């Protein structure tokens, strides 16, 4: 690894006691980002907001624990969001077309991320042959997955259509009792595509879509141009 290729971003826990590391001195995770990268090589604000929303929810509800959750992150990029969930005790599958940066960041955080909690898999949303219910991406049966995370992946029409089809497959075709959390940032050049995606979700009578409102978000990690929606089968 060349230091000229990467720069580090440190994200601190508000409540280090929630992480599963045995070391009390670890109060953050450190994510390597690429200088020369497309959208998958950095930690975007929508991912940070979603991570802090999840931690904030844990901090204000002491009975809420992530330790028994099975979580899949789609389009993981740097791996930040999935690694964050793993440090909070979830069993996590990180997926993307390229796993190089994800695996690099898993090694970079090996003191806090237990390998028993995290696996990686290549996943192409456009390839429907990889959709399986018996053992999703050779990880776990689909019925055992509690949460899918999608953060800042609404970039191009073909991909957005594939994300919608995947959500529909999981929640409607397979009738799974799980949820999707999707976070995204307003971008002028993507506004029409994102709006079409939201309308597809809203017009599907089998899906219930809820917008996470400001009062539910971390007070220091929210912005009018950042959004989180929750999607479940209704």
Q: What is the pLDDT of residues 87-125, one digit of tens each?
A: 888 999 999 999 999 999 999 999 888 777 899 999 998
pLDDT at site 16: 65
pLDDT at site 134: 87
- Per DSSP bridges, beta strands 207-211 and 226-233 are antiparallel
CA distance linking residue 8 with residue 200, whole number of Å: 37
In 3D space, the residue among 136, 124, 137 whose CA is nearest the CA of residue 165 turns out to be: 124
Contact 9, 33 (CB under 8 A): yes
Q: What is the pTM of this model?
A: 0.92
Q: At what angle do helices 80-87 and 100-108 cross, to 10 degrees?
A: 40
pLDDT at site 17: 63
pLDDT at site 129: 86
Residues of the chain with pLDDT under 70: 1-4, 16-25, 37-39, 58-64
pLDDT at site 81: 96
Residue 52 tokens, joined:
């802090």
Contact 80, 100 (CB under 8 A): no
pLDDT at site 174: 84
Separation of CA 190 from chain center: 20
In 3D space, the residue among 125, 76, 103, 108 whose CA is nearest the CA of residue 11 turns out to be: 108
H helices within 61-112, ranges in order? 80-87, 100-108
pLDDT at site 113: 83
For the chain, domains (ranges, CATH) are 6-233 (3.40.50.150)
């Amino acid at each position: 690894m060349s230091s000229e290729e990467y720069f580090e971003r440190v994200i601190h826990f508000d409540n280090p006691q929630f992480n599963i590391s045995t070391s009390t001195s670890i109060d953050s995770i450190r994510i390597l980002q690429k200088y020369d990268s497309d959208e998958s090589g950095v930690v975007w604000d929508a991912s940070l907001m979603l991570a802090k929303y999840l931690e904030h929810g844990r901090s204000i509800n002491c009975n809420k624990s992530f330790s028994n959750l099975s979580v899949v992150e789609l389009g993981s990029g740097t791996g930040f969001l999935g690694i964050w969930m793993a440090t909070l005790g979830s069993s996590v599958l990180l997926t993307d077309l390229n796993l190089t940066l994800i695996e690099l960041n898993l090694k970079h955080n090996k003191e806090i991320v237990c390998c028993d909690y995290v696996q990686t898999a290549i996943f192409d949303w456009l390839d429907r042959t990889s959709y399986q219910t018996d053992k999703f991406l050779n990880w776990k049966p689909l019925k055992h997955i509690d949460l899918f995370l999608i953060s800042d992946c609404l970039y191009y029409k073909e991909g957005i259509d594939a994300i919608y089809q995947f959500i529909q497959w999981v929640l409607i075709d397979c009738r799974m009792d799980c949820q999707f959390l999707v976070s995204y940032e307003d971008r002028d050049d993507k506004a029409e595509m994102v709006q079409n995606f939201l309308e597809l979700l809203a017009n599907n009578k089998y899906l219930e879509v809820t917008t996470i409102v400001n009062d539910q978000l971390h007070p220091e990690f929210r912005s009018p141009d950042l959004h989180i929606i929750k999607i479940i089968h209704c």
